[in-house]
A and B are shown apart, each in its own frame.
Chain A
Amino acid sequence: MKQLVQRAVEMLKDMGVDYGDVRAELIRTENTDFRNARLDDCRTVETEGVGIRVLVGSSWGFSACTGLNKNDVDAAVTRAVDIAKAAGSRGKVELSPLDIQQGVYSGPCHKDPFEVSREDKIALLQKASDDMMKDSRIKSSYAQLWFEKRDRIIGSTRGDLIETDLIFTQPSLMATAVVDGDAQSRTLQDGARISGWEWVEESGIGDWGEKAREEALMKVLADESPSGEMDLLLDGHHLSLTMHESVGHPTESDRALGWEANMAGRSFVKLSDQGSLVYGSDLVNFVADNTQPSGVASWGWDDDMVPGQKWYTIKNGIFQEFGSVRETALLMGKKFSNGCCRAMNAQCFPINRQPNFYLEAPENGVTPDDLASDIKHGIWIEGRGSFSIDQRRESFQFGGDLFWEIKNGRKVRPLKKVIYRSRTPKFWGSLDGIADRKYFRSMGLLTCGKGEPMQSARMTHGASYSRFRGVEVGGGK
């Protein structure tokens, strides 16, 4: 792959482009999927290809091919340059400065999941699936082990040359119970990590089946949600989605610029809000971190070849800065990109994506029960469920996966069909308590959709249990 990249870079230099980069990727994924206690999908997918991105004047050109065939790559190089030249200029493209990057990055992986026998994987999922299906009221179950090995080499006409190899691992399962005409599911997963088989072992998926079964049954038999204004106690998994939608997306620079206005949408956050917008209470500290090794957006460098970085998106409740790429950084009034440029694969043009980011939790001394003890009437929510937010990322409605009613400081009964609604700054402004780091949980998301043509991207979020006051609940029946 390296020789192909270097050869294509030399071609671009000979063709006189103002900037060009060549990204070769070899991605191997393996799925082992059980449905209703039978092996439903036993599959490997190998995608490989080369993407060529060029700037001629201020015109982008991008072409790509699948496979690693020299002739196909040569044709893609020519096509990228040709369409850039044909495009003519519509706006000035100015990339933020960046030192020449060269190096190799390998994500953490102690035990290669591709070396673990298929029989072991099947046995693990079979047990979890059998456990889920032990009760006849469980009508549907799903269990999956998913692994991906992603090797990437990027070179540029500037002289950059980086190599990365990453292994992603995700175990997950779901049980659906049907009773008296209602169906309710319980999903157990901690998302994906850049990690090897050790993440499967640490997750304990083999023992999740019984818990998923019992909690799905508890849920389907539970009372429906009350409605009204009440307090919420939300776990880290649940918040991973809330923060993704209401903090991650509105703080993407391309949305603030209007580049996603036709599809993913715009942002209520303006360029001039950097350093001044009150986004939440002073407990709200969101740290973006593409250096955290197991975070699924920690790739060593992004696809602009900007090294992984760490910064505050929101500090003491005040919005600090957008996530950016080299093309948007200067437009945001920043000197440098903070490294949020990633493509789904070699066939895709890299775009502005969310970094890993998390809600900071206090060092110690606060438990979720401590937080609940100060709730007169509220709901304890775990996991992710229904989610919807307006295209400016200001007005939202979320569900969850497991619910308990809290009365006078104590969990009193399980619930189902709970949804809540709020507006972004109001919601984060109502945060008045965070449990300590012992209760922190992260969630690696693999399928954040954005862009046209649509690309999915991955990033990790996390939080500890957090308490929100006076939120509108209801409407899930």
Chain B
Amino acid sequence: MTKQEMLNFAEAAVKAAGTQDAVAVLTENRSAFVRFGQNRVTQNLDVFKRELRLTVGDGEKQATVTSQRIDIHALPGIASEARALLKTSSSDPEYMPSVPAGQVYPVIEEAWDEFTSECPAAPRMEAVGQVIDTAVENGFTASGIGGMYTTQTALATSTGNAVAHRSTTALLSFTMDKGLASSYSALSGTAWSDLDINTAIATVAEQVKLNENAVELEPGDYKIILEPQATWNLMMFLPWIMDARMADQGTSVFSGMESRKMAGENFTLSSSLRGGKPGNSFNEEGIPAEDVVWFDKGILKNLPCDRFTAKKTGRLPLFVPDTLDMAGGEGSIEDLIAGVDKGILIRRFWYIRFVDQKTMKLTGMTRDGVFLVENGKIVKPLKDFRWNWRPLELFSNILRIGTAQRKAPGLIPPVVIGEQHYPFTD
């Protein structure tokens, strides 16, 4: 659908609702990917999806209906179902009306790449073929996924706001392995042309060789060198629990910590709509997105906050607009390694979960490449190990930050963390 067709449909849905408050969000996705494993293509897909979410309210209570019947003739039925659901709902003391008229939404043109939006089959097949051919040439096994997807969203509110946003994403993520040795790369960008595929394939193939014959890590003190993917893995849980309401309830690590130092001077985390990854223009309620600094030089500056909590506590209603950048420094991962006398280089973490949500203590494993670094050089591969860490404590002890790279959420740098004692499972 064109942008105007989508906006018209969303506005028609709001009109069909006929309720005091209404918000309609129409989303259209296309996903076109090739998946591979064991050096063979295991999936090859090109999928379209459209969905309407209609939230209605009468001033006291609300209800939401989601439907994939995207047909103007289906709207009266969907609206009728939403009203029926509303009737049986119960009064909500936290009821919030539709956002007021006159919202000004950022236009983020750079989120869309025309070529990528066409989801052509040839580039993804070619890239996957390159990965598999390189694996076969080296006696490795390759697996992964490559492709492109598009998302277009139109939103309309009963208060007269109407806005649309669209984005494209290209990705190639793959692993090569030989026995217990493996390496991994995840490329992500707005455009297929953003992906440096040749370099990634060559690097991964080389790293598999380096990873053969891994040994157990000996107990002792080690600096931790995180490649950007590993840095992001440690931060992934932040957006989940950065929430003003949870903080107020006393159930998160952020309780009572606003405007207080929680990490080191060199830890700055922000959402920039035109940063490393273009952000969304609005959220599902129709609140305009904005640039936000969450941590500034280690100080917790802002927390995402729902509209009710914002009104109750005097905060601003804020949300993470699907993009996060951690401020980087200078230097490649090789430069960082060169400055470490005794440390561990970690490429990627796996299966990270909370051990204790209140203190944000996490557990996880390393995966696809861990190396012992001595006197500025990689000296041997290490077997994967478990750790139980509090990432904010690690981010309070960052010795050096390298140049940030585009990863799934935005710009993320490699970092060197001060000494930790192994075993990391206390």
Contact = CB atoms under 8 A, between A and B. Distances in A.
A48 B68 contact: yes
Contacts of B121: 83, 86-87
Contacts of A117: 88
A11 to B, nearest CB: 17
B405 interface: no
A251 to B, nearest CB: 17
Given A43-B64, A47-B68, A260-B37, A397 B363 contact: yes
B40 to A, nearest CB: 3
B90 A126 contact: yes
B69 A67 contact: yes
B367 A390 contact: yes
Contacts of A477: 356, 426
Interface string B257-277: 000000000000000000000
B37 A66 contact: no
A61 interface: yes
Nearest to B184: A262
A178 B358 CA distance: 10
B356 A46 contact: no
A176 B251 contact: yes
Contacts of A347: 47, 49
B143 A83 contact: no
A118 B89 contact: yes
B112 interface: no
Contact of B357 (A41, A183, A419): A183
Nearest to A76: B48
B148 to A, nearest CB: 12
A422 B358 CA distance: 25
A106 interface: no
A62 interface: yes
A43 B173 CA distance: 35
Contact of A69 (B63, B71, B350, B365): B71
Contact of A452 (B48, B145, B177): B145
Interface in B374-392: 384, 386, 388
A258 B36 CA distance: 10
A80 B49 CA distance: 15
A390 B94 contact: no
Contacts of A61: 44-46
A72 B45 contact: no
A47 to B, nearest CB: 5
Contacts of B350: 265, 390-391
Interface stretch (B27-35, B214-222, B295-303, B320-328): B27-35
Given A44-B66, A126-B90, A259 B37 contact: yes
B249 interface: yes
Nearest to A258: B38
Contact of A91 (B41, B386, B388): B41
B107 interface: no
Given A258-B177, A388-B352, A66 B88 contact: no
Nearest to A117: B88
Contacts of A90: 36, 39-41, 128-129, 132
Given A42-B62, A90-B36, A258-B143, A79 B92 contact: no
A69 to B, nearest CB: 7
B45 A349 contact: yes
Contacts of A266: 177
Interface in B222-258: 246, 249-252
B143 A66 contact: no
Contacts of A40: 92, 94
A257 interface: yes
Interface of B: 31-51, 61-71, 81, 85-86, 88-90, 92-94, 121-122, 125, 128-129, 132, 141, 143-145, 173-175, 177, 182, 184, 246, 249-252, 350-358, 363-365, 367, 384, 386, 388, 425-426
Interface of A: 38-49, 51, 59-67, 69, 72, 76, 79-80, 83-84, 86-88, 90-91, 117-119, 122, 126, 139-140, 176, 178, 181-183, 254, 257-263, 265-266, 327, 347-349, 351, 386-391, 395, 397, 399, 417, 419, 421, 452-453, 474-477
Given A90-B41, A391-B367, 9 more contacts: A41-B64, A66-B48, A83-B32, A90-B36, A139-B249, A254-B42, A258-B143, A261-B143, A386-B354
16 contacts: A38-B92, A60-B44, A62-B45, A63-B45, A254-B42, A258-B141, A262-B37, A266-B177, A347-B47, A349-B45, A386-B353, A386-B355, A388-B364, A395-B365, A399-B355, A419-B363
